[in-house]
């Protein structure tokens, strides 16, 4: 997963756009959690 390091880089670099990074993290969680659930099943 190359997305996680990118998210951490965004958080570290852009502290102004906390809301944007928050939205991105939520989207990633929304997409990653169902995938993990489907894989578990």
Nearest CA to 24 out of 40, 38, 10, 41 is that of 10
pLDDT at 14: 61
Q: 10: Cβ–Cβ under 8 A, 6 or more apart, which residues?
A: 17, 21, 24
Render pLDDT for 1-41 as a digit per residue (tens, 0 to 9). Answer: 567 777 777 777 666 666 777 878 888 888 888 777 777 77
Joined tokens for residue 34: 């169902």
């Amino acid at each position: 997963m190359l997305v996680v390091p990118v998210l951490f880089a965004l958080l570290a670099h852009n502290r102004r756009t906390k809301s944007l990074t928050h939205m991105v993290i939520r989207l990633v969680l929304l997409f990653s959690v169902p995938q993990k659930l489907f894989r578990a099943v």
